[in-house]
Each structure stands twice: as C-alpha cells, then as structure tokens.
Chain A
Amino acid sequence: MTPESHPVARALGGALLAVALVLPLITRAVLEADDYWVQMVIWVMFFAYLSAAWNIIGGFAGQYSIGHSGLVGIGAYTSSLLLIHGGWSPWLGMLVGGALAAVVGGVIGYPCFRLRGAFFSLVTIAFAEMLRVGAELTDTLFGLHLNGVRGLLLPVAGDRPWLFQFTGKRAYYYVMLGLLLIVLAVGWMVKRSRLGYYLAAIRDDEDAVAALGVNPARAKLAAMMLSSFFAALGGTFYAQLVGFITPTRTMSIDFSVQMVVMAVLGGVGTVLGPLWGAIVLVPIAEITRAVWGGSLQGVHLIVYGALLMVVILYWPQGIDPWVRRGVEALARRRRPAAPEAAVVNVPRAVLPERGLLAAPLAQNGGGPVLSVRGLSRSFGGAVGVRDVSFDVAPGEVVGIIGANGAGKTTLFNLITGALAHDQGEIHFAGRRLGGEPPHERNRLGIARTFQIVRPFIGMTALENVVVAALPRSRDVATAKREGARYLGFVGLSHRLHTPASGLSTGERKRLELARALATRPRLLLLDEVTGGVDQRSLPGLVSLVRRVKAEGLTLLIIEHNLRVVTAVADRIVMLHLGHKVQDGEPHAVVNDPAVVDIYVGGGVHVAS
C-alpha cells in the first residue's frame, strides 16, 4: 500500500516535476497568448489539489463527502473577509480559514462517524447546501458585508506578493504547483502512517477494525479535519486567482461532485489518483466549453456523470493501476528480473514460534477471566440470549455449542461490545463491563474472530495484521515486524505480501486468527474457526487452535463440529433458544441424551 518507491518511478516523478517547473517558461517561448494555456494547467492542478484534499477522507477512508464545496467556500470567504475588513494578508487568512474549516468539518463529521457512511454523505451535502443558500441570502453578518448572492469583489492591488496578488498567471501557477505538491506529500505520508492503515482498513470493514482496538470514529475525524483544512486553502487560492467569489460559484454542488469524480476516476484510495483524474477531466470540460460555448453549459457534467457511472460499475480501480503497471513494465525493461523488494526482513525459515503469546498471560489473581451473570438481550420480541451465566477460568478453553439461532454469536457480540445487553452483568478480569464500545473492550484484552471471515480485502496479509498490531506498537515498522511474527505463528509467512483477496478460506481463517492474536488478548473469542473450511485444511486449523491453547491463552470458541470442540475444549456450554441448557465436561455434555436430542435430533454418539 505504500506508494511506488522504485528508482524508475522516482525518475519518472522527478521528470514530471521538472516539466511542471519549466512549463510556463516553455509556453512563453513557443505560444502566443500563452496565459490561456498556463491558466488551463492551473485549473488542472487546482482540481487535482481539491480532489486530493477530498481524497484524504473520501478515498483513503471511503467516507464520501459531497459537501466539500462548503469547506472551499469557508476558506474563500474567511481569507477574503479578513483581507477586506482587516487588511490581513490572505497568506495568513488562508490558515485561519483552513483552521476554521477543520473545526467545522470535525463538528459536522463526528456525529456521523458513529453511524453509517451514507449518513455522512447526506449530512455533508445538506451542510454545504444550507451554507450556500444561507450565504446567498445574507447581506451582512455581525457587521461583515457578505453581499449575499452578489458575492465579494477583492480589492485589486497590483503585484503585491504579500497580499497574494500577482500580475500575470505565472506566479499563481507556481503557488498552485506548491500547494499541489504539499497536499500530495501529505497524502503520501498519511497513507504510510498509522492513520493511513486505519483508514484503509475502515474503508474495507469498520466493525472488524473496531474489534482490533482501533477507534474508527477518531481515525475518520482526523482524516476529515485534515481534508477540510486543505479544501479551505484551495478556496483562498481560488478567491485570489479569480478576484471574485460568490456563494453560487464557490459553494456549488458541482464543485463537490467534481472532486469526487476526479478522485474516483483516478483510483479511489490511491495517493496520485486525483492527479490522474484531473489531468483527464479538466481538459474535457475546457474542450466542451470551447466547442459548445455558453449555449450548453453543462455538457462536461454529462460526460463527468456518465464517466462516474461507468467507472464505478465496470472499472472500480480507476486509472492508477494502469500507471503503476506502466511504471513496472518500464522498470522490468531496465533491470530484468529485479528481486521483489522485501518490505520487512523476516527470518526465512519461520519455525512455529514458541512463547509468542506468553506476555499477556500474567493473569490477575486466580479469579475467572470472564464471568457472565444473568445476561439477556432480545431483539424486538425475539429472544437473543436469556439469563445466561457462566465463568471462564484463566487458561481454560470453553466451547459454546448449540443449533442455529441458539444465541451463540449474539453472546459473542455482547461480550465484545458489538451489542449492548439488556440485563445481567459481564465481568472481565475482575472489572465490570458497561457501555464500552468494541475497540475499548479489545484494548482491555478481549479479541475475536468473525463467523464469516472479514479480512481487509484491499490489503495484503501483512497489512491486515499490521492494523491489529499498530495500537500497541511504537511505530509502523515495529508493527510490521510484529505482524510478520504472528503470520509466522499461524503458518502464513509465505503469504506476507499476498493480497487478502487472493487467500483461500482456510488461509483467511488463519489470517483472522493472526490479526486477533496481534492485539495481544487475554481472552480470545473464536467464532466457528472451522466453518466453511474444507476437510483437508481442518486438521491444520485444529492443531493451530491447540497451539494457541498450549500457549496458555484463555479461549471461548463457538464450534459446530462436535469432534473438533470435544478435542480442544476443557468444558462445553450448550445454548438452546437463548438459554443455557448444559455446562460441563465435553464428553458428558455431548453425550447427554437431552443435548443430543436438541442438537442432532437424537441417537448419535460422539466418539473421542
């Protein structure tokens, strides 16, 4: 997931930058009326910039804001009003506007981040629209002259660099180039950082991220504030370049949509995607404007809309992978059979590591790790779990069995905090659990796997585990080393750099186990480790669970396969229609006629 750092890529990037630096000089030498062309390149860079700002929350985290024009408007209006009323330099004003936008973006975003993504889209678009209409209708606000729909005309001051005013387009060109480089560099750093891993994982599966001890709302908030800040800087640039702002122009929904379209076409979630998108799309708008002129204003928007649909439906990766493949092809031609760059140095022959899980096992006293008392939860009128009580001692492996709908997964969701319980108590390591969300319960030491495996599909195996190791690691490099160790433990060291989408079901189960172990839990909840796994992979998985057990970790496992559960569990708790009906030594439980009757319809004896 780290952007290309191959020498060829670096050389190409350097060449692109060099061209960008001398372009205005070339156009001056060879073209008449070259300001038109310089202006056009400024627009390409401007939209690439805005789209890259949007990309931090929209692309990296998959939270589609459709109200970024409102943030652009905040930036434009803040610096312009400070300039007009207070004589402030827009260079300062743009930072004030950026800070203001970051706060506004945070305030708007935070409540949404605890809910679904669609909600965030609605809220951002509603916010931008109310801001636009409000600004259009407001002539003065607290003594500031907004001039409503007529907008603000910025004072013309000639060539005054300190006031962000230049004659000719060239200086604006370089300012924009600088801003674009900054936002791309920030994107690149975010992508490689702790936050970048969290955001990419959130984009794939937010619940799974929370189960690893990461607070998704906080990560999204950070991304939104960063994104809002840079969007607002773009607004100030626009105001200074054009010299005239109106709510209709700077806060129009078209602006917001263009940021989205460019980032999506370029490649959602990539650092350079917005640049590719803008390079393709801005000229289309210019060309249609040149051909149809003022009579048909929205032709380019028809093209944008159609492209958006086609890309989402048939080409979700966008342009960026093409560029990558192009660069890789070039690299191969220059240096055939270049060895694959190893991201982490892993000892080649990773033996099953001993003592990997020992650290977190210093248990408190001798009391139970988990103690559940009278736990109940219903859904509407339906019983999920009713009055369930049991204890789990340190180092004990307790199997939970029961038919479909018995309440097994509901019980797990209650213990991990994915669901709130109606009645009863959960004590973990001597502490009574209340309303802690899943990420806090994980930090206390409760980890889980999911019934249907939920790897972060857009990441490699190692990156998956890195997300889990990060909350407890000093930095990304440490987390990578940790992650590789856990992948070694589950027997996936040969798969470190394989995308999770390329793993078999059995391997995904192992990956999820490694992810859960990397959070260094004191209690691990395994939801059907063997479910959906073919017969050949089964023994390997069972012996893996046994090894986890041998390390002394306390386990709670949901298991349908009675042979497996009797082989690994010290005790079995049986649920039926939400109630606990049995609790005892494995063979005694599974051979209890009443249990057998409920579970398999009678008459089956399970051999040891």
Chain B
Amino acid sequence: MKALLQALVSGLLIGGIYALIALGLNIVFGTMRVVNFAQGTLLMGAMFMVYWLNELGGLHPYWSPLATIPVLFVAGYIIQRAFVSPLLARDRAREPMSVLLVTLGLALVLENIALALFSADFKTVQTELSIATFKLQGLIVSVPRLVGLGAMLLTCVVLYLFLTRTDLGRAVRATGQDREAARLMGIDDDKIYGVAYGLSTALMAIAAAVLVPFFYVHPTVGTSFLLKVFVIVVLGGIGSMPGAALGGLIVGAIEGVVGLYVQAAVAQIVLFGIFVAVLFVRPMGLLGVEQR
C-alpha cells in the first residue's frame, strides 16, 4: 500500500510538468485551432538557456524565468506573426492544417541545429535542491518535483485570473470563441493571436526552470516530452485547460504506478489501451467539447 502511494506521488509530481506543457499547447489550440509542433523544441531551447545562465552566470534555475520568460514570449510572438498568421489568413475557409506542418518544419530545424551545436551530450545542473527529499507520512517526496507541481498549479491560477479578470485575457477568450465577432468589437485579433502564442511559449520558460534542477538537458528532450504531451492532450481534451492538467496528472500517475508494479513497458501498453478506449468512448477527450 505504501509502495503504491509512493509510486502515485512520484507519478503525480512529474505529471505536473507534463500538464504545464499541455497547458501551453492548449492555449494556442483553444484560440487558433492549430497545434504547435515546435512547443517541445522551444522547451528544449528554454532548458539550454537555463543551463547556460547557470553555467556562465551562476544564476539559480528558479530565478531564470525572469530572463527566459520575456525571450520565449517574444519568440512565440514572432513565430505567430511570421509563420502562423499568414497561413491563418490564407486558409480562412478550411481548417488551417498547414500551420501544423510549418511548426513541424520549425521543430525539425531547431532540434537538429541544437544537435549540431550542442552535440548529443546529456547536461545537468546540480543545485542544492536537486536531490533533496523529505518524508511526509512515510512517503518520500522529491523537493524539485514538488516545486514543479507547485509551479504548475500556480501557473494555472495566474492564467485563470489573467483570462477571466483582465481585459487582455478576456480579449484572448473572445477571439478564441469567435474571431470575426471579436474583430467587430474592436479587438486587434492579430495582436491577440500573437499574445496567446507568446503566452503559450512563455509557459515553456517556467517548465524549463523547474525541470532543469532534476532532469537532463539534451537537444531531443523537448520532443520526448512533447510526444507524451500529445497523448495527454488527446486524453484530457484538445483545447481544454482543465483537461490538460487532469490528463497530465493521470498519465504521470499511470506511469508511476504501473511502472512500479510491473515494468515501464506495461505502463506504455496500459497507457495505449486507455488512449484507444478514450478515443472510442469520448473522442473529444475527458474534458473536451466537440469541435465542429
């Protein structure tokens, strides 16, 4: 029983990080109905920034968002304006699937440039917290992972407040619901799309800051996270923010529990089974709404 709880706790803790990335994807999908395949490579880029800021500047990863959030926000804003916006304008009549391919191309370019520049070595940042743990009711809790979960929850709250309590946030939601109507209300929809995109990539700065103290930094790390996050997004409901959080925690928990009792391979198979079952029973995901 204790081992089960232990596995559950470890799984939930890493699930928080998954959820953070899924949240980023869903902000973009929720407003623009497009998938950003470069999300993972942007996370990777942010992790390298955190690594080098620590290596060269001695900056603690937890302080890095002060520097990395603006950089990633601007990167997201530029990506939206340069690559996504023209395609949204061109494919107004049909679903903008070409955006998906452009971001896929961008991911390919960025990841392989990183491989060429940084080589395939695994880099890590040791902080005083990296291996710190404490016991709670006899369960071992990893401190950096707990910080990760906390960061996810805090981000959810801030994001929720932003989207519901500020004019800019309301404009993002309005544009997501009906772009034409929002435009008629005087909202600069292009700017709002840029902001939403920047917001989603800025979340990767937070994810990177909490990941680096306990996870390796590598050119393909972002993609490996992203692929898992796709499963989460499909499970939780594409475009749904609570779905992203729930899906992340569920996947983390399954990985932890099944991986403990049987083996990691079985966890994959169980995950796959659940994935297919959800597809058939609720194709729009656990908390998703059907998109027409």
Contact = CB atoms under 8 A, between A and B. Distances in A.
B90 to A, nearest CB: 8
A117 B93 CA distance: 14
B108 A114 contact: no
A205 B279 CA distance: 24
B227 A205 contact: no
Interface string A106-136: 0110011011111101110111011101100
Nearest to A121: B100
A253 B105 contact: no
B261 to A, nearest CB: 15
A296 interface: yes
A304 B223 CA distance: 17
A312 B95 contact: no
A129 B275 CA distance: 12
A297 B120 CA distance: 10
Interface string B263-278: 1110011011001100
A115 B223 CA distance: 25
B109 interface: yes
B83 interface: yes
B34 interface: yes
B106 interface: yes
Given A107-B276, A302-B113, A305-B106, A64 B223 contact: no
A299 B112 contact: yes
Given A253-B227, A308-B108, A122 B35 contact: yes
B291 A116 contact: yes
B116 A118 contact: no
A138 interface: yes
Contacts of B275: 126-127, 130
Nearest to B279: A111
B147 interface: no
A313 B109 CA distance: 15
Contacts of A558: none
A299 B108 CA distance: 10
B46 to A, nearest CB: 19
Interface residues of B, number: 51
A539 interface: no
Candidate in A107, A112, A134 with the most chain B CB atoms within 10 angstroms = A134
A306 interface: yes
Given A253-B227, A308-B101, A118 B29 contact: yes
A91 to B, nearest CB: 30
B109 A62 contact: no
A349 B283 CA distance: 52
Contact of B83 (A116, A127, A313): A313
Interface string B99-125: 011101111111111011000000000
Contact of B111 (A123, A130, A298): A298
B237 to A, nearest CB: 10
Given A64-B101, A299-B116, A134 B265 contact: yes
B106 A121 contact: no
B107 A62 contact: no
Interface string B223-264: 100011011011000100000000000000000000000011
Given A119-B238, A122-B238, A298-B112, A134 B100 contact: no
Nearest to A207: B292
Secondary structure type dominating chain B contacts: helix
Given A138-B265, A309-B83, A313-B86, A296 B116 contact: yes
Nearest to A115: B283
Nearest to A419: B292
Contact of A313 (B87, B104, B228, B233): B87
B290 interface: yes
Contacts of A131: 272
Given A121-B35, A130-B231, A454-B93, A111 B280 contact: yes
Contacts of B135: none
Contact of B283 (A107, A114, A306): A114
A34 interface: no
A260 interface: yes
Contacts of A299: 112, 116
B97 interface: yes
B116 A253 contact: no
B284 A115 contact: yes
A119 to B, nearest CB: 6
Contacts of B2: none
B33 interface: yes
A298 B291 CA distance: 37
B98 interface: yes
A66 interface: yes
Contacts of B165: none
B108 to A, nearest CB: 3
A316 B98 contact: yes
B83 A122 contact: no
A551 interface: no
Given A129-B230, A305-B105, A309-B105, A134 B272 contact: yes
A358 interface: no
Nearest to A124: B230
A309 B271 contact: no
Contacts of A316: 98
A122 B104 contact: no
A123 B271 contact: no
A47 B28 CA distance: 33
A328 interface: no
Nearest to A457: B93
Given A133-B268, A137-B268, A298-B116, A118 B100 contact: yes
Nearest to A113: B283
A301 interface: yes
| B94, B271, B276 — most chain A CB neighbours (10 Å) | B94
A264 interface: yes
Nearest to B267: A137
A204 interface: yes
Contacts of A457: 93
Interface in A73-108: 107-108
With a 10 A CB-CB cut-off, give which of B106, B108, B223, B231 has the most chain A CB atoms: B108
Contacts of B104: 66, 257, 260, 305, 308
A22 to B, nearest CB: 37
Contacts of B109: 301-302, 305-306, 309
12 contacts: A111-B280, A115-B290, A116-B95, A116-B291, A117-B95, A118-B97, A125-B227, A134-B268, A261-B105, A299-B112, A302-B112, A313-B87
- Top 6 closest A-B pairs, CB basis? A305-B108, A137-B265, A308-B105, A298-B112, A305-B109, A309-B105
Interface of B: 29, 33-35, 83, 86-87, 93-95, 97-98, 100-102, 104-113, 115-116, 223, 227-228, 230-231, 233-234, 238, 263-265, 268-269, 271-272, 275-276, 279-280, 283-284, 290-292
Given A118-B34, A313-B86, 12 more contacts: A108-B276, A111-B283, A112-B279, A116-B33, A116-B95, A122-B234, A129-B230, A205-B94, A302-B116, A312-B87, A313-B87, A316-B98
